[in-house]
């Protein structure tokens, strides 16, 4: 079974993947892939969604639940493959989790690579617009040290409470 130290090391190793621009590129790549895949959906729906296929849905669902090659049967078989000893179950689950983490890491790297191309393409296509926006931002920014920067507001002088007049030294108290 994996120790706490090993789990922490695994976590920190994979957490390093989220440093720098990689998450931005991964999001851009995933979005680009989604757009690519969703472009064809309306045409596929028109051609593939027929009344006959729609009526066949209950039979297909029943098959998935009861057939020997259905998804439910496959999951049940996987659960049956787990060892009976709890310590071995934990090891098996740790191995399965490691496989999934590696698969996710690979997918993240693919999306980041794709996203980097998307970001580069967008920047290249909009270079003039970016240049103009940067120039305009420098004109508007009051903190860039230009002569047009507004003066800092001045604070009104604070009124202080007057101290009570001191009593004469020879005055009697009481």
Residue 155 located in a structural domain: no
Is residue 8's pLDDT more than 90? no
What is the rounded average pLDDT for all residues in the chain?
Answer: 76
3-class DSSP assignment, residue 2: coil
3-class DSSP assignment, residue 40: coil
Q: What total number of domains does the chain contain? A: 1
Specify whether the CB–CB gap between 92 and 2 falls below 8 A: no
Range of the domain at 52: 22-140
Residue 124 located in a structural domain: yes
CA torsion sign for 68, 72, 74, 78 is negative
Region of 144 please: left (phi>0), alpha (psi -120 to 50) or beta: alpha
- Name, of 18-22, 92-96, 116-120, 127-131, the range with top average pLDDT: 116-120
Q: What is the pTM of this model?
A: 0.52
Cα distance between residue 127 and residue 133, in whole Å: 10
């Amino acid at each position: 079974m994996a120790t706490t130290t090993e789990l922490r090391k695994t976590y920190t190793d994979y957490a390093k993947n989220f440093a720098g621009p990689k998450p931005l590129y991964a999001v851009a790549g995933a979005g680009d892939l989604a757009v690519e895949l969703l472009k064809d959906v309306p045409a596929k729906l028109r051609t593939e969604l027929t009344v006959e296929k729609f009526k066949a849905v209950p039979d297909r669902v029943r098959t998935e639940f009861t057939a020997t090659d259905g998804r439910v049967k496959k999951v049940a078989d996987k659960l049956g493959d787990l060892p009976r000893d709890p310590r071995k179950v934990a090891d098996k689950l740790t191995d399965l989790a490691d496989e999934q983490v590696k698969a996710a890491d690979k997918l993240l790297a693919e999306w980041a690579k794709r996203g980097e191309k998307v970001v580069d393409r967008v920047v290249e296509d909009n270079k003039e617009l970016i240049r103009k926006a940067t120039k305009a931002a420098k004109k508007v920014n009051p903190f860039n040290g230009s002569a047009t920067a507004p003066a800092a507001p001045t604070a009104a002088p604070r009124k202080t409470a007057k101290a009570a007049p001191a009593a004469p030294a020879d005055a009697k108290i009481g």
